[in-house]
Structure formats: structure tokens, C-alpha cells
Chains A and B, each alone.
Chain A
Amino acid sequence: MELLCIRQWISGLLPTWLSAWCIKPVGGALVRQEPEYILLALMGSPLKKIMLCSSEKEIFSVEEQVMVQHSVIINNMIEDGSYNHEESKIPLDCVDSKTLKKVIDYCTHHTHHHNDNQEDLEAWDAQFLNVDSNGLYDLLMAANYLEIRNLLDLIYGTIKNMIKGKKIDEIRRIFNIKDHGFTPEEEEQNRKEYPHFY
């Protein structure tokens, strides 16, 4: 809520051309655009930050608002006061730096662009998930650990589409399964009973 008041105050101070550019009412709400944050920073209004520490001991500074909106775990930690802004960092030993950076990117984008239209967001998400396969599963584990519901749903949907409607050999290729573990007799049995799967 504080941000809304600050924005209204700023829009009052700005010359019309600037305010028209960076803060526009869309259906009664104020749409956040990047320049607004630059302005806020210039005016010395600090957006609360929190520190996240990856498994490789690298520290990432993120807006509290961004993480609180997306991660249930972090939201709970801040809400019940176990996070001390002055001193603490939140250790995330299950998440490496590369993955943590991606997660932060996702949350930040979705917070700042939550009023974008659906297609733009989906296009951004598709681009975001354009990672190598192991990166995808690392992201899944991180999203699960931090309980970020929309990222989880996104990844589940992607993996589901990797499986749906595919034939057995395709799936083995996609998931890099070299040793399927069936004996020749068992494979034969499978082929006979489910020829349409192959």
C-alpha cells in the first residue's frame, strides 16, 4: 500500500510528459513501469531488500516485496519475524547460484509485469524456460523448495507436454534414458500388448 501512495505523490510532482510516460492508470490501477523505480531510487526512497544466499555461498540482494509475493516460505519467514533485516541472510543450501538467479529473475519479472497482457507473459515464460534439461529440473526443485506456486505450475505444465502423446522411443530420447531395465522377454511382452505405444 505504501508504494501506491508514493507513486501518487511522485506523479503529482512530475512534469506531465514524464508522468504520462512512466505511470499510467490502467483500469483504475497504476501500472508500474521501470522508470518509476529509477525515480524512486533517485529520490532516496529505499525499497526493502532481503539477502538470499545460494549453496555456493553467493549472496543475492532482492526486493522483499518480490520474494514475499511469490515464495510462501520466504513470506512466512518474514511474517513471523524470524528474518532480521539488518543482519540476516536467508541460506538456501538446496539452490545453486545459477538456479537462484533464474528464480529471482522469474519473481522479479512477474511482480513488475503482473499487469501485462496474458500473451506477453506467456511468451516471456516460454523464453524463460528455454534452458537445458538439467536446468529445468533444478528450477523445479528450487520452486518446490521455496513453494513458488506459479513457477511450479509452469514447469509441471512444460514437463507434462514433454510426455503427453509421445511414443516410447521419443520419451526415452527426451529424458535420456539409456538403460530401460526390461529384459528382452519383458520388452517383447510390452510390444505385443501395447503396439500403439511404440
Chain B
Amino acid sequence: MKGSLKMTNLLSRIRNSSKKTKTNTNQHRNRKRFKLRNQNAISIPKDLPSPHEEEDEEEENAEEGFKLKSSAPLLTHGVQPLGNLYLNPGSINSRDTGLGNLHTLSDELVLEILGFLDSTDLGVLSTVSKSFYVFTNHEPLWRNLVLENLNGGFQFNGSWKSTYVAASYPSFDISSNALKSFKVRDFYSDYLFQSWLCANLEMKPEWLERDNIVRKRGISVEEFVLNFEEPNKPVLLEGCIDNWDALENWDRDYLMQLSGDVKFAVGPVEMKLGDYFRYSDQVREERPLYLFDPKFAEKVPKLGSEYEVPVYFREDLFGVLGSERPDYRWIIIGPAGSGSSFHVDPNSTSAWNAVIKGSKKWILFPPDVIPPGVHPSPDGAEVASPVSIIEWFMNFYGATKNWKKKPVECVCKAGEVIFVPNGWWHLVINLEESIAITQNYVSRRNLLNVLDFLNRPNASTLVSGTRDRVNLYDKFKNAIEASFPGEIDELARKAEKKIQQKKLSFWDSVSDSNAGAFKFSF
């Protein structure tokens, strides 16, 4: 175990520096195409970290060491990080010899090429050389093949490759093949090692320690609006969903019984609950698929009836649009390690998120503070950030300790509701299998922001959750005017007054301070 810990030390350093040079020299290069509401999820072991047994070893490498899941298949093929190659002078990288002329290409480019091949071609390549064997067994390749060809109707079989082969070649005996696994010697690759590492890492306890969010129980709506919604501050509300039937009833069996063969949205596909749970029980990958369905109440009306919007969030002005309103409520189910990497909620809305089962770690940054490691494009349509959530924790969480503007953090447990004010960056990771409900909404407090957002010239790319992006602004404005005549103007007047007041006080302070200081001298 110690040996592998040392390897991860080296790797995190290498990863860190390469990321730094990237941002220093050419930040234009970092444009991976991640949409704002990307449900990136990572894979970490299902169990919560239990560091007690390994604490002695951990102490030594206190700052840098990471704990691997004890049952992780230690380096299935024997891939090592590049750092080890540099420590072994005279060693050859069998990755290069096995790739032939392709060895000059980066790992990402090789995998891009393999992404264009079908399963037969991948099979052939896996026997061409040991190096290709390792590359062609990269799970994400097979995940894409499954999702593209089998959609959501797959029976997960331990690995994506097994799943694909079992479904596409039912007569093929996979049991013997799956167990056979060639080991490689002297194969060094940062990308493949990092991929494996992020899939098998545990959350470090110190990443879960900080819990500095304001917690309130039983406050009035007025207090909530005054102290949190108006000033746009997050808060964790306790006890406000105690009356939900969902809290009492919802568990795996109940949900499966209710939904039967109904398919729910899981990433790019739709799956039956039973199939999804079969996958989430077995999976171990960097970004597990996350069940995130905006039509759950329409698909299974009973689910919609077993919860109600907490009293603080009942004013929801998008409701004036009726059935034409953008997506606004989701059921969220996912295994430990799944979650969302840093994003800002769409359409400038605020949100609340209630955990029914399990627990989630939240990290929030205010609108004017971009989280470390995150690079939004100037128009905000794209966000470049680390590939997996665990990678963000590994490389960037430590930086937040020394920042003046520390993030708001918490662990939200079953029965608790977190309020995410509009514009706030947030990252969420499930610490165990979790079931939650979240809704986005517009109240009078953020109505003007939302109208502004919808009215932007590039609304067609930024506005989300509806097919009618371009006209949403007009529709919404007219609907508000119809239901609440004069409201928009009233709010605009109030906002203008506030700005004027702020300006006045600024000039007051300036003239006061100058009164004594400014002296003529000839």
C-alpha cells in the first residue's frame, strides 16, 4: 500500500504542474466543451472512508497521501504513472514500443482515434500489441459503445466491455474471457493511470470536515426572505420536510415497485430503475451515470404527490407559463461518488435541494468568485473544469484553505434542505447512495435577474430546459404582466432607488473624507 501511495504523490504533483502551465501560457486551450449544467459524476468506492486501520501509514504522508479503496483491483493491467518511468533510468516505456508510429501521439489522441472504431476493430487491435490491449480496454470506450448502441436497455455486467459483449454476442462465453487479464510490464501513462486512480479513490476525511453553512430550523418565511433570499445567501434548512411522505416511504424497493417499467433519464439515455440500480451497485468509474429526471412527476404521478414544495419556496413565478415553463424539478438518484462538478444553475434561477435518503457534500462559491480550477468562457456558455469531481478535490480543494473568500461548505443529510441562491457556483458529490428532489424557481427577488438573462442576445445558447429558447423572454414577460400587472415596473423602480441610494452614500463618504484632507497651499 505504501508503494502505491508514493506513486500517487508523484502523480498529483505532475498533474498539478501541467495544469498550471496550461493556465499560464494559454488559457484558450482549456476549452473542453462542458455545458453549464453538466452532470459530471465521479466514481469513488461506495463505502464511506474509514481511515482508522490505515491511519499509521496515512500519518506519514499526511498532506499528500490518498487512500485507495481496499478492494480496488490494484492496477488491473499494471499501468504506472509517468513519474515512475523517470525514476527508473534506462527503462523503456512499453506503451511506446507497442504503439509503433502512433507513439508520438498523446494518450488522449490515441483514445480519440479508438473512439471511432467499432467493437470488432477494438477486438482486433487488442491482439495487435500489449500496448493496444491496454488502450482498447479503456472502459469509457466501451461505455460509449453501450450507450450509443444499446441505449438504456442494458444489463450491466461488471464492466462496460462485458456488458457490451454479453448484449451483442449472447452466445459468446464471456466468463472465461473476462477473467483472463494480461498484465503489462513497464507501461507508463499518466492519463490511463489517473483515470484508474480517480475511479478508485476514497474521499479524504479532511475534505468533509469543513461545515460552515448557516443552519436554521423553523424560521418564518419573512425571516428567510429577509436574511437569505434577499441578500442572496445560502442556508441549510432543517425540519421543513418532516411531513413528506417521501421521507418515510422512499427507498429502492418502494420506488421500483411504484415505477415498474417506467424509464427515467440517466445521462444521455433512459433506463428502468431496476437496471439503473444494477449498474450503480457494480460500477466503479470516474464519472458514474447519474439519474436526473425532470419529468418524474409526469411519468409516475404518485411520486409527485408524496412531496410538497417547502413553504419558503412557494412563490414561483415561472408557474405563470403553465406547461410551457422550462424544466424545473428533478428527482436525483446516484451511487456514492456521483454528483455534479462546478456549475451555475441555468436561467439565473435559485434552487432548493432536499435529501430524502443518503448524504451529499456541497461546496458553494458566491457569483463573483470563480472556483479554483474552473474556467468559464466569456459568455458563460461553456465551462472548462477538471474531468472528475475527485480530481478537483485532489488538485484544487487545498487552495481554498488559503483563500480570503472561502467557500460555503456542508454535508446535507436526509431530511435537510439546502437553499442555493441564484448565480452561486456549486459542486455536489454523493457520499453514499442518495435520493433527492431539487427544484429551480423564480421569485420576485430574482425576477429582474431572470428577465435580464432571458433577454440576452445569446439566449439561444444559454437558456436551458425548454425548446423555445428564443421566445421565452417575451412569453414570460407577457405572462407576468398578465398575472401581476405593473409588478415588473415596480420592481425596477425599487432596484433603481437602491442603486441611487448606494451612489449617494458613496459620494457622501468621499466628500466627508476629503473635507479635512484637501488643503490649498500656495
Q: How far, in angstroms, from A29 to B248 measured CA to CA in the complex?
A: 67
Q: Is the CB of A181 within 8 A of B131?
A: yes
> Which of A138, A159, A160, A172 meets B100, CB within 8 Å?
A172
Contacts of B101 in A (CB 8 A): 133-134, 137, 175-176
Main secondary structure of the interface of B (DSSP, over half): helix
Q: Is the CB of A177 within 8 A of B117?
A: no
Q: Is the CB of A172 within 8 A of B104?
A: no
**Of A9-17, A61-69, A186-194, the one with at least 4 CB within 8 A of chain B:** A186-194
> Which of A156, A177, A189 meets B129, CB within 8 Å?
A177
Shortest Cβ distance from residue B423 to the other chain A in the assembled complex, whole angstroms = 23
Q: Is the CB of A141 within 8 A of B98?
A: no
Q: Is the CB of B31 within 8 A of A72?
A: yes
Q: Is the CB of A180 within 8 A of B98?
A: yes
Known contacts being A159-B113, A164-B121, A194-B123, is A179 close to B98, with CB within 8 Å?
A: yes
Chain B positions 82 through 123: 1 when the CB is less than 8 Å from some CB of chain A, otherwise 0: 000000000000100111111011100100110011000101
Known contacts being A159-B113, A163-B117, is A172 close to B28, with CB within 8 Å?
A: no
Q: Is the CB of B100 within 8 A of A197?
A: no
| A2 in contact (CB, < 8 A) | no
Contacts of A166 in B (CB 8 A): 124
Shortest Cβ distance from residue B340 to the other chain A in the assembled complex, whole angstroms = 26
Known contacts being A178-B97, A181-B184, is A76 close to B127, with CB within 8 Å?
A: no
> Which of B112, B113, B130 meets A180, CB within 8 Å?
B130
Contacts of A189 in B (CB 8 A): 180
| A6 in contact (CB, < 8 A) | no
> Which of A80, A144, A178, A194 meets B127, CB within 8 Å?
A194
B377 nearest CB neighbor, chain A only: A76
A77 nearest CB neighbor, chain B only: B28
Shortest Cβ distance from residue B470 to the other chain A in the assembled complex, whole angstroms = 23
Q: Is the CB of A156 within 8 A of B113?
A: yes
Q: Is the CB of B94 within 8 A of A140?
A: no
Q: How far, in angstroms, from A35 to B106 measured CA to CA in the complex?
A: 42
Q: Is the CB of B128 within 8 A of A140?
A: no
| A154 in contact (CB, < 8 A) | no
| B10 in contact (CB, < 8 A) | no
Q: Is the CB of A171 within 8 A of B131?
A: no
| B125 in contact (CB, < 8 A) | yes
> Which of A141, A179, A193, A194 meets B105, CB within 8 Å?
A141
A75 nearest CB neighbor, chain B only: B28
With an 8 Å Cβ cutoff, the count of chain B residues facing the other chain is 33
Q: How far, in angstroms, from A180 to B26 measured CA to CA in the complex?
A: 37
Contacts of B129 in A (CB 8 A): 172, 177, 179-182
> Which of B94, B109, B127 meets A168, CB within 8 Å?
B127
B92 nearest CB neighbor, chain A only: A179
Most buried by B among A77, A145, A190: A190
Q: How far, in angstroms, from A163 to B177 measured CA to CA in the complex?
A: 23
With an 8 Å Cβ cutoff, the count of chain A residues facing the other chain is 40
Contacts of A159 in B (CB 8 A): 113
> Which of A73, A157, A177 meets B98, CB within 8 Å?
A177
| B486 in contact (CB, < 8 A) | no
Contacts of A180 in B (CB 8 A): 98, 128-130
Q: How far, in angstroms, from A175 to B128 measured CA to CA in the complex?
A: 10
A193 nearest CB neighbor, chain B only: B177
A173 nearest CB neighbor, chain B only: B100
Contacts of A76 in B (CB 8 A): 28, 31
| B519 in contact (CB, < 8 A) | no
Q: Is the CB of B99 within 8 A of A175?
A: yes
A176 nearest CB neighbor, chain B only: B100
| B378 in contact (CB, < 8 A) | yes
| A167 in contact (CB, < 8 A) | yes
Q: Is the CB of A163 within 8 A of B121?
A: yes
> Which of B28, B31, B104, B127 meets A197, CB within 8 Å?
B127
Interface residues of B in 162-209 (CB under 8 A from A): 177, 180, 182, 184
Q: How far, in angstroms, from A72 to B26 measured CA to CA in the complex?
A: 13
Q: How far, in angstroms, from A53 to B28 measured CA to CA in the complex?
A: 17
Contacts of B184 in A (CB 8 A): 181
| B493 in contact (CB, < 8 A) | no
Q: How far, in angstroms, from A165 to B105 measured CA to CA in the complex?
A: 22
| B52 in contact (CB, < 8 A) | no
Q: How far, in angstroms, from A163 to B94 measured CA to CA in the complex?
A: 21
Chain A positions 11 through 28: 1 when the CB is less than 8 Å from some CB of chain B, otherwise 0: 000000000000000000
Shortest Cβ distance from residue B112 to the other chain A in the assembled complex, whole angstroms = 7
Q: Is the CB of A177 within 8 A of B128?
A: yes
A134 nearest CB neighbor, chain B only: B101
| B29 in contact (CB, < 8 A) | yes
- Footprint of A on B, CB under 8 Å? 26, 28-29, 31, 94, 97-102, 104-106, 109, 112-113, 116-117, 121, 123-125, 127-131, 177, 180, 182, 184, 378
A181-B94, A193-B177, A197-B124 given. 20 additional CB < 8 A pairs? Answer: A80-B378, A134-B101, A137-B101, A140-B105, A140-B109, A156-B116, A159-B113, A163-B124, A164-B117, A168-B124, A171-B125, A172-B128, A172-B129, A175-B128, A176-B100, A177-B129, A178-B97, A180-B98, A181-B129, A197-B127
Q: List 9 A-B residue pairs with CB atoms under 8 Å apart, sorted by A's residue number.
A: A73-B29, A133-B101, A164-B117, A164-B121, A172-B129, A189-B180, A193-B177, A197-B124, A197-B127
- Footprint of B on A, CB under 8 Å? 72-73, 76-77, 80, 133-134, 137-138, 140-141, 144-145, 147, 156-157, 159-160, 163-168, 171-172, 175-182, 186, 189-190, 193-194, 197
Nearest 7 pairs of A and B residues by beta carbon: A181-B130, A175-B100, A177-B100, A180-B129, A176-B100, A76-B28, A190-B127
